[in-house]
Amino acid sequence: MKDVKPKIKELMRALFGNVPSGVGSKGKIRCTLQELDKAVVEGVQWAIAKGYGNQEDAEHCEENGAIQDADPKNVSDLARKRGLPQFGTLGAGNHFLEVQRVEKILDEKTAKAFGIFPDQIVVMVHCGSRGFGHQICDDYIKVMLDASRKYNIALPDRELCCAPIESPEAKRYISAMYCAVNYAFLNRHIIAHWVKETVGSIFGKQVIDEMHTVYDVCHNIAKLEEHEVDGKRKKLWVHRKGATRAFWAGRPEIPQAYRNVGQPVIIPGSMGTASYLLVGTEGGKECWGTTCHGAGRTMSRSEAVRTHKDEDVAHNLESMGISVISASKDVLSEEAPNAYKDVDEVVRSVELAGISKIVARNVPIGVAKG
């Protein structure tokens, strides 16, 4: 902490310059549509072969950074064209890159297994599949609306459109969605590589070898998993919308390094508030190994913009000792800390419910928003 704090503004400017962010931001990676198709099938192994990150990063990633059965043939040309220039970008809205200090350890044994210690400086990255995934969703809502009518499925809400899992429509959608999953893995993996490079440029290249990925966890995806239902093992499609996986110790899907401990779980707060590192627990069996993805909003983005000014939010954060930098107008007011629920209470409820156990509380010292 004593080494980073005096240089936090310099570090945030460098990170902001090295990691493309903002609405419609374009990445630094130049590749063809054919290369993009290859990348979203291979996942982070494609990036590693290109010199981004390393094998340990992949091993500390859900699905080892590449979910199987992704098929770009089922992704529209428009989605591919939207995804190509945004490859390796942070994006906007609630996506962020945050430099944090580990303020408090609440589970020393698990923290040690995760490589976390008090006053450590960590970097948290939140981003997804950008316009690529958004377009895939838009494309398949139309497909699923037609499928719902075709298979005589009564919908309480058109946004719940669906199709039988073995239908050709569902199979195409799943393979396209998995391309978006791998795109998101690649985005975070590549951004993490640029974070390491940036930190090394300021604090010395030897620091890069000390930086390790704790875990990369998905959100807003559906996966086929095995769980216990009424005392019997069954395969279920678990759709974690606004949620992430939180598996307990012993599950084979957890990386070998954490299998005897449990899966790392990340619950971010808003800029200006704490974020948490937790671990999955057996109590999570009740909800098939799932926990929340974040604190959740208390007001809409339009209301937040109406009631906050960017400059006031920035001033308040700076007065709290948090260096903040943003790419676009209104993003700070949209993401004002009090536009979100109290993350401390949210995480406390998760632990009281037995879904996950708190390992460490991190507080921001630098925030980059798109």
Residues acting as catalytic residues: 293
Give the whole-angstrom CA distance, residue 264 versus residue 261. 9
H/E stretch holding 324 reads: strand 323-326
**Beta-strand pair 290-292/275-280:** unpaired
